[in-house]
């Protein structure tokens, strides 16, 4: 009996080592195929799958110089590479992996955050479109291009709720609201992954950074997070849950600790909530070096303990820290880590490799012809232009200064953004080798292409984004004086918002507002266009400029989109998804705050009130704010039932009318206030919205929906509850501009 077993085992080993892994269990699902492969693997090979290394040519974190990388890939000791792009380069690395004993293909991961070659607006800008379908389409383009360039996996979407504009990474997310943030998170996952993994134009998505990274104390990147379970579950987790429900393949842990426990070693988060409560079956990757960084957090004393903490918490792949590589084998042999935990992690990763079809053809994303075609697809720039114009927010438009007539005689175009190329691409653009910079349409090019033959454009740089040089001021004023209208571009340089780009002063940097003051003194009408990656503070501009557009960083079609809006070919429709404070002293500030026991009713109501003595209680621009060239009226609020039971849905009908002189789109918003709860409820919470296009003079009825699920919240014990009682239902054009209101009651 013993001999028979030994012979069988020997035969099994022979078969397994002779045939490449991809021949096994072809008929089975990814899970079973991964499972059979797992049985063939040695412990070092298993641990290999859990390592992700940076490729040599580009870095998005502190680099580890590792001359032995190729050798390790050849030995099957690396599961994935990041920052490795193009068919040529991914093919090269894959062929090294194919020399390993089991020929397990590498996964290539890359931050494709808002486009690959075709760059879309930064995600915060896109979120201002309140258009999940359009965002989904933009992610489809990103997936199409990146997957054609050999990439399998993007570290996107970033779904961190962000409520502190000092934090540089607000640019990567969808703003402050969990409801809107969740819809956009799901749309991005659908767009990136396509119908299902396995199509050659799908990317695996990665919801990041799990969790609460956006709540870094003081808005300082990587800082600690201290929050109640209620806040975590109600505000910060929903977009992750939405991504999981949409089928996201992977999640990335965050750099921060939550209440003293780093996310990367946080079993409550990575196993209890993510896997047990939400049923997530994909895999979790650490953030860059975050396994090893737990030593700095002071939760472990060395990388051995860091590896132990992370793997036991449920972090499957170690990005760049090498803690897993250096310690897991020892930890297993010493019995500190159960081999079952390793097997689980490896199987999850292999499963994704099977789902992507990499075992059937490790080079299936390596097709030069497809890469060339995808990167020159003429439909992609058109889609980027569409998305860019949907992201521009109109803040002010005195006397209908905008839109401009394209037949104006003289237009002065001034400021640091006018002829900038790369600035348009934002912080997280992909450094795609061989892409001609002409691919980006500058503002100058876009505007030049749109104005009439009779128009003369006058350009002056004026000043830089930063610095104190006023050398260009005289020239600018002279130019402005000749013009019928002045377009003045200002804002942040693209490396001022992004990772590790927290700022304590989020005013307009340098001497830009000083130059604006001079321009306004000429008496010429001035349109200010602000480029930035975050809500900036610009009190002077807000009060004095007659027209303002907030343009974020719009991507490769920026110039065309700007021209579309300036000359009225597109009527701006975007609305802010983050509150814009009046000063840094107002932070943290968001629309969905609590009432407090002593609320201030207005700015003259300050004595013994919850207010600042020297500052308004209101933000500069509230969540949901954004104008159009036309105006919209709201009327006829009707609720199908004023009393409803928990299993009933309320329909709320409102008539929206275009009352102005242009065709345009309105984003009508539904907010709710739960009047009495076992825990205080916010003064207002977004629960639905509708984006409608109306020709001038036209009206339509929109219907919003409310149900008990939307009205539920986390109680004092962090349990999800839905409590009967009265709710104010408010419909408006922003979180402050409430036009109609009704009270409804949920009964038992
Ligand atoms: C960032 C992640 C990113 C990773 C890889 C980290 O520094 O926090 O968002 O995906 O680098 O580039």
Atom of ligand 1 lying closest to residue 61 CA: 7
Nearest residue (by CA) to ligand 1, atom 6, is 288
- Structure confidence by residue, pLDDT tens digits, 67-100: 899 999 999 999 999 999 999 999 999 999 999 9
Which residue of 208, 287, 317 sits with most ligand 1 atoms within 8 Å of its CB, as the best mutation to test the pocket? 287
Helix (H) or strand (E) holding 375: helix 368-375
CA-CA distance, 426 to 424, in Å (whole number)? 6
In the chain, % of residues over pLDDT 70: 96
Distance in Å, CA 201 to ligand 1 centroid:
23
Measured from the CB, is residue 568 less than 6 Å from ligand 1? no
Distance in Å, CA 97 to ligand 1 centroid:
24
Distance in Å, CA 30 to ligand 1 centroid:
28
Residue 28 — very low, low, confident or very high, per pLDDT cuts 50/70/90? confident
Q: Which pLDDT score, from 0 to 100, does residue 26 have?
A: 53
Distance in Å, CA 684 to ligand 1 centroid:
34
Q: Is the pLDDT of residue 66 over 90?
A: no
The domain made up of 632-746 has a fold known as Immunoglobulin-like (2.60.40)
Distance in Å, CA 60 to ligand 1 centroid:
6
pTM, to two decimals: 0.96
Q: Is the pLDDT of residue 201 over 60?
A: yes
Atom of ligand 1 lying closest to residue 208 CA: 9
The mean of the pLDDT values for the chain is 95
Distance in Å, CA 624 to ligand 1 centroid:
29
Q: Is the pLDDT of residue 13 over 70?
A: no
C-alpha separations of 217 from 172, 293, 563, 593 in Å: 18, 18, 39, 18
Nearest residue (by CA) to ligand 1, atom 10, is 155
Q: Which pLDDT score, from 0 to 100, does residue 406 have?
A: 96
CA-CA distance, 144 to 151, in Å (whole number)? 10
For the chain, domain boundaries: 380-586, 632-746
Atom of ligand 1 lying closest to residue 206 CA: 10
Average pLDDT in the 326-333 region? 98
- Structure confidence by residue, pLDDT tens digits, 394-446: 999 999 999 999 999 999 999 999 999 999 999 999 989 888 878 999 999 99
Spell out the residues 6+ positions from residue 105 whose beta carbon is closer than 8 angstroms to its own: 94, 97, 98, 353, 358, 359, 362
Beta-sheet pairing, 283-285 with 643-645: unpaired
Which residue of 222, 428, 499 sits with most ligand 1 atoms within 8 Å of its CB, as the best mutation to test the pocket? 499
Measured from the CB, is residue 61 less than 6 Å from ligand 1? yes
Which residue of 155, 172, 427 sits with most ligand 1 atoms within 8 Å of its CB, as the best mutation to test the pocket? 155
Distance in Å, CA 675 to ligand 1 centroid:
41
Atom of ligand 1 lying closest to residue 60 CA: 12
Measured from the CB, is residue 155 less than 6 Å from ligand 1? yes
Q: Which pLDDT score, from 0 to 100, does residue 554 have?
A: 98
C-alpha separations of 543 from 2, 526, 538, 645 in Å: 88, 13, 9, 48
- Structure confidence by residue, pLDDT tens digits, 685-714: 999 999 999 999 999 999 999 999 999 999
484 catalytic, yes or no?
Answer: no
Average pLDDT in the 195-214 region? 96
Three-state SS string over 282-311 comes to CEEECCCCCCCCHHHHCCCCCHHHHHHHHH
Q: Which residues pair with 253 in a beta bridge?
A: 210
So what CATH class is 380-586? Answer: alpha beta
Measured from the CB, is residue 111 less than 6 Å from ligand 1? yes
Average pLDDT in the 544-557 region? 98
Q: Which pLDDT score, from 0 to 100, does residue 249 have?
A: 98
Total Cβ atoms within 10 A of residue 723: 18
Measured from the CB, is residue 58 less than 6 Å from ligand 1? no
Contact 577, 175 (CB under 8 A): yes
Nearest residue (by CA) to ligand 1, atom 12, is 60
Measured from the CB, is residue 320 less than 6 Å from ligand 1? no
Q: Is the pLDDT of residue 16 over 90?
A: no
Distance in Å, CA 156 to ligand 1 centroid:
10
C-alpha separations of 416 from 200, 525, 541 in Å: 40, 19, 16
Distance in Å, CA 632 to ligand 1 centroid:
42
Measured from the CB, is residue 221 less than 6 Å from ligand 1? no
Nearest residue (by CA) to ligand 1, atom 4, is 288
Measured from the CB, is residue 53 less than 6 Å from ligand 1? no
Helix (H) or strand (E) holding 488: strand 485-491
Q: Is the pLDDT of residue 12 over 70?
A: no
Distance in Å, CA 288 to ligand 1 centroid:
6
- Structure confidence by residue, pLDDT tens digits, 116-140: 999 999 999 999 999 999 999 999 9
Contact 47, 60 (CB under 8 A): no
Measured from the CB, is residue 288 less than 6 Å from ligand 1? yes
Measured from the CB, is residue 318 less than 6 Å from ligand 1? no
Spell out the residues 6+ positions from residue 546 whose beta carbon is closer than 8 angstroms to its own: 396, 397, 398, 399, 401, 525, 526, 527
Nearest residue (by CA) to ligand 1, atom 8, is 287
Contact 48, 75 (CB under 8 A): yes
- Structure confidence by residue, pLDDT tens digits, 279-326: 999 999 999 999 999 999 999 999 999 999 999 999 999 999 999 999
Q: Is the pLDDT of residue 23 over 70?
A: no
Q: Which pLDDT score, from 0 to 100, does residue 27 have?
A: 54
How does 238-271 read in b/e, with b if 16+ C-beta sit within 10 Å? bbbbbbbebbbbbbbbbbbbbeebbbbbbeebbb
Q: How many CA atoms lie within 13 A of 367 on its CB side?
A: 13
Written as six digits, the tokens of 599 are 């609320």
Measured from the CB, is residue 287 less than 6 Å from ligand 1? yes
Q: Which of 287, 303, 316, 564 is catalytic?
A: 287
Q: Which of 369, 352, 462, 349 is nearest to 415 (CA)?
A: 462
Q: Which pLDDT score, from 0 to 100, does residue 324 have?
A: 98
Kindly report the backbone phi and psi dihedral angles of residue 644, in degrees, each rounded to the nearest multiple of 5, phi listed first. Answer: -145, 155
Residue, of 593 and 11, whose pLDDT is higher: 593
Measured from the CB, is residue 60 less than 6 Å from ligand 1? yes
Which residue of 172, 288, 290, 427 sits with most ligand 1 atoms within 8 Å of its CB, as the best mutation to test the pocket? 288
Q: Which residues pair with 527 in a beta bridge?
A: 487, 547
Q: Which of 61, 53, 225, 214 is nearest to 123 (CA)?
A: 214
Torsion (CA) 229, 230, 235, 240 in degrees, nearest 10: 50
* DSSP one-letter string for 99-164: TSTT-PPPEEEE--SS-SSSPPPPHHHHHTT--HHHHHHHHHHHHHHHHHTT--EE---B------
Q: Is the pLDDT of residue 650 over 70?
A: yes
Written as six digits, the tokens of 655 are 């008539």
Which residue of 55, 57, 61 sits with most ligand 1 atoms within 8 Å of its CB, as the best mutation to test the pocket? 61
Q: 86's torsion region: left (phi>0), alpha (psi -120 to 50) or beta?
A: left
Residue 59 — very low, low, confident or very high, per pLDDT cuts 50/70/90? confident
Q: Is the pLDDT of residue 4 over 60?
A: no
Helix (H) or strand (E) holding 80: strand 80-82
- Structure confidence by residue, pLDDT tens digits, 253-280: 999 999 999 999 999 999 999 999 999 9
Distance in Å, CA 155 to ligand 1 centroid:
7
């Amino acid at each position: 009996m013993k001999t028979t077993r030994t012979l069988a085992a020997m035969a099994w080993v022979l078969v397994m080592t002779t045939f490449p892994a991809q021949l096994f269990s072809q008929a089975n699902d990814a899970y079973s195929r991964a499972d059979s492969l797992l049985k063939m693997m040695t412990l070092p090979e298993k641990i290999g799958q859990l390592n992700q290394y940076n490729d040599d040519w580009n870095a998005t974190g502190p680099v580890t110089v590792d001359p032995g990388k190729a050798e390790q890939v050849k030995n099957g000791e690396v599961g994935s590479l990041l920052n490795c792009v193009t068919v040529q380069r991914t093919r090269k690395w894959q062929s090294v992996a194919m020399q390993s004993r089991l020929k397990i293909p590498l996964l290539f991961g890359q931050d494709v955050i808002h486009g690959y070659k075709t760059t879309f607006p930064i995600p915060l800008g896109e979120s201002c479109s309140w258009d999940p379908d359009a965002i989904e389409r933009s992610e489809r383009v990103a997936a199409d291009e990146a997957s054609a360039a050999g990439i399998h996996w993007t570290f996107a979407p970033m779904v961190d709720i962000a409520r502190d504009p000092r934090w540089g990474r607000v640019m990567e997310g969808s703003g402050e609201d969990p409801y809107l943030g969740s819809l956009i998170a799901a749309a991005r996952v659908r767009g990136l992954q396509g119908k299902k993994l396995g199509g050659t134009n799908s990317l695996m998505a990665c919801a990041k950074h799990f969790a609460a990274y956006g709540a870094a104390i003081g808005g300082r990147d990587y800082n600690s997070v201290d929050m109640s379970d209620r806040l975590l579950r109600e505000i910060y987790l929903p977009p992750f849950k939405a991504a999981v429900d949409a089928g996201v393949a992977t999640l990335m842990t965050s750099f921060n600790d939550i209440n003293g426990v780093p996310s990367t070693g946080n079993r409550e988060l990575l196993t209890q909530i993510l896997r047990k409560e939400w049923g997530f079956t994909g895999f979790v990757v650490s953030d860059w070096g975050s396994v090893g960084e737990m030593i700095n957090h002071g939760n472990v004393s060395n990388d051995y303990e860091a590896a132990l903490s992370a793997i036991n918490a449920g972090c499957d792949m170690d990005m760049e820290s090498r803690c897993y590589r250096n310690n897991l084998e020892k930890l297993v042999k010493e019995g500190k880590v159960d081999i079952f935990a390793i097997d689980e992690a490896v199987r999850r990763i292999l499963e994704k490799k099977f789902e992507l079809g990499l075992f059937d053809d490790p080079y299936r994303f390596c097709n030069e012809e497809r890469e060339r075609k995808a990167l020159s697809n003429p439909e992609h720039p058109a889609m980027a232009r569409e998305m860019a114009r949907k992201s521009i927010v109109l803040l002010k438009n005195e006397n209908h200064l905008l839109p401009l007539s394209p037949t104006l005689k003289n237009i002065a175009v001034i400021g640091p953004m006018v002829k900038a190329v790369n600035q348009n691409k934002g912080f997280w653009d992909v450094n795609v080798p061989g892409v001609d910079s002409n691919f980006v349409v500058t503002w100058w090019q876009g505007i030049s292409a749109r104005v009439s033959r009779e128009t003369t454009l006058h350009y002056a740089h004026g000043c830089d984004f930063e610095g104190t040089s006023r050398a260009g001021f005289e020239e600018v004023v002279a130019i402005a004086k000749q013009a019928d209208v002045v377009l003045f571009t200002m804002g942040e340089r693209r490396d001022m918002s992004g990772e590790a780009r927290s700022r304590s002063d989020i005013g307009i940097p340098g001497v830009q507002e000083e130059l604006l003051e001079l321009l306004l003194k000429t008496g010429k009408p001035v349109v200010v266009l602000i480029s930035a990656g975050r809500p900036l503070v610009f009190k002077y501009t807000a009060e004095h400029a007659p027209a303002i557009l907030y343009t974020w960083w719009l991507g490769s079609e920026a110039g065309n989109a700007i021209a579309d809006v300036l000359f009225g070919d597109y009527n701006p429709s975007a609305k802010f998804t983050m509150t814009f404070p009046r000063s840094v002293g107002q932070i943290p500030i968001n629309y969905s705050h609590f009432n407090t026991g002593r609320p201030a009713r207005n700015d003259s109501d300050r004595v013994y009130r919850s207010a600042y003595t020297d500052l308004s209680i209101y933000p500069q621009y509230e969540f949901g704010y954004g104008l159009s060239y036309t105006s919209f009226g709201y009327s006829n609020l009707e609720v199908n039932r004023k009393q409803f039971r928990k299993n009933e849905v309320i329909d709320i009908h409102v008539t929206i009318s275009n009352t102005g002189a242009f065709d345009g789109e309105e984003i009508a918003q539904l907010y709710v206030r739960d009047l009495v709860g076992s825990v205080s409820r916010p003064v207002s919470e977004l629960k639905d919205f509708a984006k409608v296009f109306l020709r001038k003079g036209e009206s339509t009825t929109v219907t919003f929906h409310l149900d008990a699920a939307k009205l539920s919240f986390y109680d004092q014990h962090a349990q999800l509850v839905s409590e009967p009682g009265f709710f104010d239902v408010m419909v408006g054009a922003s979180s402050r501009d409430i036009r109609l209101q009704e009270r409804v009651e949920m009964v038992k």
